Amino acid sequence: MSTTKPNIGLISTGLLLGLISSSIDQTIVSTAMPTITTQLQGMSLYSWVFSIYMLTSTATMPIYGKLG
């Protein structure tokens, strides 16, 4: 058994940075939606934007986990 204490401050900082980057990412996507749907020329492709966003978010999650 190890006698070293985990660095709680470093762990908390990493978790907070992850939460902040996630919330900023979602804020940017929701703010840009009117522009994106205008460039896609219609509301019929509105769901594709969220589908692609969720797909890339899910695909990059293991990479972020490995780096963390």
What tens digit of pLDDT does each residue of 15-40 get?
888 778 777 777 887 788 788 778 87
Q: What is the pLDDT of residue 45?
A: 74
pLDDT of 42 above 80:
no
Alpha-carbon torsion (34, 36, 42, 44), positive or negative? negative
Which pair of tokens denotes residue 7?
A: 């660095």
Burial degree of 36 (CB within 10 A; 0-12, 13-18, 19+): middle
pTM score of the predicted model: 0.48
The CA-atom distances, in angstroms, between 23 and each of 4, 17, 19 are 33, 10, 6
What tens digit of pLDDT does each residue of 3-19 get?
777 788 888 888 888 77
What tens digit of pLDDT does each residue of 52-61 get?
878 887 888 7
